[in-house]
Amino acid sequence: MSKRRYKRYKRRVEIEFTAGDTTYKGISSDLSERGLFIRTRYALVPGTEISIKLYLPNGNVANVKGIVRHSLKTSFNFVKNGMGVELIEIDKNYENFLYEELIDYERKEQIGAENLQKETPEYIIILCPSCSVKNRVRRDRLSMGPKCGKCGTLLS
């Protein structure tokens, strides 16, 4: 059971964040309704309030505010350096991006996968008695008297 309140969505988005008078750059590695993880070499101290600009794939810029909740800074390349941020203010661009491009997209993919499983016919391989070629035949077409694709001999 996950301790997270909101589902995370993996998406790389370029980010600029400002703390005080200094602006830094980073990349998101996951997003949620109320938080995000910023991959950056400039991880700030937990409790720091930051302003964030997300450069969305559709060309819009989302301006949000957040509080750094945890920071990771190591010299190892295999560890994600950066910080987890709890969002305290979001704008319409971020909200639209989250719901239209991430949440709805995931739902459509799930529905598409379910429909694909329902529609995918089952096939069997039948050897031609005449020329020994393998023929792939849909199970629901066996009663129609399938023929060999090479020589035309009846397969049933």
Mark out the alpha helices in 6-150 (DSSP H runs).
92-96, 104-119
Q: What is the distance between the alpha carbons of residues 140 and 146, in angstroms, rounded to a whole number?
A: 11
The answer to whether 55 and 61 are in contact (CB under 8 A) is: yes
Q: Is residue 40 part of a domain?
A: yes
Question: Do 132 and 105 share a structural domain?
Answer: no
Nearest by Cα to 63 from 88, 38, 81: 88
Residues 70 and 101 in one domain: yes
Query: How many domains does one find in the chain?
Result: 2
- In this structure, the answer to whether residues 81 and 35 fall within a common structural domain is yes
**Residue 117: pLDDT over 80:** no
Structural domain includes residue 20: yes
> Do 36 and 81 share a domain, yes or no?
yes
- The answer to whether the predicted template modeling score (pTM) of the entire model surpasses 0.85 is no
Largest CA distance in the chain: 82
Q: Taking residues 119-146, what's their average pLDDT?
A: 85
Residue 90 and residue 146 in one domain: no
pLDDT band at 112 (very low <50, low <70, confident <90, very high): low
148 within a domain of the structure (yes/no): yes
User: 100 and 47: one domain?
Assistant: yes
Find the domain containing 50 and state its range.
14-115
Q: What is the pLDDT of residues 44-86, one digit of tens each?
A: 999 999 999 999 888 899 999 999 999 887 766 555 688 999 9
- The per-residue pLDDT for 119 is 57
Residue 101 falls inside a structural domain: yes
Cβ pair 146, 155 in contact under 8 A:
yes
pLDDT, tens digit (0-9, with 9 covering 90-100), for 22-44: 999 999 888 888 899 999 888 89
User: Does 61 fall in a domain?
Assistant: yes
| Cβ–Cβ < 8 Å for 92, 43 | no
Instruction: Give the count of beta carbons closer than 10 Å to the beta carbon of residue 31.
Output: 23
Domain holding 42: CATH number? 2.40.10.220
- Predicted pLDDT of residue 9: 76
Report the C-alpha gap between 32 and 74 in whole angstroms: 24
